[in-house]
Chain A
Amino acid sequence: MTDEELKEKLREIARAGALAAARHLSPSLRPIVEAYNAGEINLAEARERVAEVFAANEPRIDLIVKTQRRMAQSLGQIVAGSTPGQLRRYPAWRLVRGGTRMVPRADWQRRWIAAGSESGWQGACRDDFVALKSSPIWAALGQGAGGFRDAIGNPFPPFAFGSGMTWERVSRGECAALGLVEEDADNG
C-alpha cells in the first residue's frame, strides 16, 4: 500500500467515524456535545443540559458526552497522524492508558490477543499493544473480537464504552525494533 493509499484509507476511517458519531446524536443533544467538545461548557453543565433533554442516569449521560468527545479527539489524531511525514516517522499507534479510572479494565491483554488472532496479527505486535496505523487489529479491537460486548465498533479509541485507553504514536525506529517495519522502508 502506498503512502497516498494509506492516507486515503485513514481519512476514510475518520470520515466514517464522524458520520457514525453524528448518527448516534439526536439534534437536541448535538449542540451540547459540540459545546463540551469545544471547551465552552464543563462536564457539570453538559450533564445538567443532557439531563434536561431526556431522563438518563449519570453513567448514561457520561457515556454520551465523554464518548463523543473521545471519538472527536481520536478522529483529529487520525487526520494529524496521516500526513506523509507522520506516516513515515510514526507508522504505528500504541494503545495506552490515557485517563485514570476508579476501576480500570483488566482485560486489555485478552482483548488484544483476541483481536490479533482474528486479524491474523497483520502489522501488529504480539508482545506489546503496538500496531501499524493500517493494521486490521484496530478494527477487530473496536468490533469486540473475542466476544467483548462493550465494544463501540470504531477502529479507533475509545474501543469500549467508558474506556480510558487511547493511542500514542510510535516512532519508526521503535517499530523497526519491534519488527513491524524496516528502518527506512515505506509503511506497509
Chain B
Amino acid sequence: MADISVNINTPQLDGIAKRLEPGARAELHQEIAAEIQQTVQGHLRQYALAHHRTAASLGARPTGNLEDAKVESTSDSDGATVTVAALGIRRALGPLTITPKNKAALTIPVAAIAYGRSVAYLKAHGVDVFRPKGKDYLAYKENPKSQFSTVIYILAKRATLKHEPGLLPGQEELEKNAIEAARDYIMEESA
C-alpha cells in the first residue's frame, strides 16, 4: 500500500481523553479523526493545485494523483488513525527510492505524450515506441518516414524522489486543529 498514517499524541489531548468514559472517548476520537481527515484533504488539494511541476514542464495534463488522493480515518476508544493513500505520498516523510516492479527498468516520462501513460498503452494505441540500440531511453518517430526520433522515456534501475515535507500539513497545524475539535466536543458535551 502506498499510504502513510498521521499520528497526533499530545499531553493535552491525552489528558482530555483520559478523563472520559470509553464511549465518550470513542466519540472524541471520531471528532478528532474527522477534523484531521478534512485538514489533510484540504491541504493536499491546495498543494496539488500549486505543484504541477512535472506535468507543466512537459506541457502535459496533470494526472491528478494528489488532488484525488484517498484520505480515510478510523477511530475507537483507544485512538484514531488518518490514512492517506496516494502514490509517492511517503515523500512527505523522507526521500523515497523507487525501483521497477516486474519490469527491467523504470520508465521516466520526459515528453508530454508519455506522461501518465505506460509503454504498453502507447503501443496499444499505435505509437511505435522503440529503444535505440545501446541507449538508456525509449523513443518514437512522430513521422515514420522521418530520420529523427523523439525521446519520450528515460530508463532507470532506480530513482529517488526528494523529501517533500510540505505534502502534509505541519505537525503544529494538525495538533492545533485536533485540540480545537477536542475542545468543541468537550464544550458541547458539558453544555
Contacts and interface: CB of A to CB of B under 8 A. Distances in A.
Interface of A: 37-45, 47-48, 51, 58, 66, 69-70, 72-73, 76-77, 80-81, 83-86, 88-90, 97-100, 102, 164, 166, 168-169
A26 to B, nearest CB: 19
B35 A85 contact: yes
Question: Which of A41, A83, A168 has the most chain B CB atoms closer than 10 A to its own CB?
Answer: A83
Given A43-B63, A44-B117, A51-B121, A77 B48 contact: no
Interface stretch (B11-19, B81-89, B142-150): B81-89
A74 B73 CA distance: 14
A100 B52 contact: yes
B68 A66 contact: yes
A39 B118 contact: no
Q: Which 6 A-B pairs have the closest CB atoms?
A: A39-B2, A39-B85, A85-B31, A48-B121, A80-B34, A43-B63
Interface stretch (B131-139, B157-165, B168-176, B181-189): B181-189
A39 B89 contact: yes
Given A39-B3, A66-B68, A86-B34, A100 B62 contact: yes
Contact of B38 (A42, A81, A97): A81
A44 B184 contact: no
Given A47-B116, A73-B71, A38 B3 contact: yes
B188 to A, nearest CB: 7
Contacts of B117: 44, 47-48
Given A39-B85, A76-B70, A168-B45, 10 more contacts: A37-B85, A39-B3, A41-B87, A44-B116, A48-B120, A48-B121, A66-B64, A76-B41, A77-B38, A100-B52
Contact of B70 (A69, A85, A164, A168): A69
Contacts of B85: 37-39
A84 B49 CA distance: 30
B188 A48 contact: no
B72 A76 contact: yes
Contact of A98 (B34, B67, B73, B120): B67
Given A66-B64, A76-B70, A99 B118 contact: no
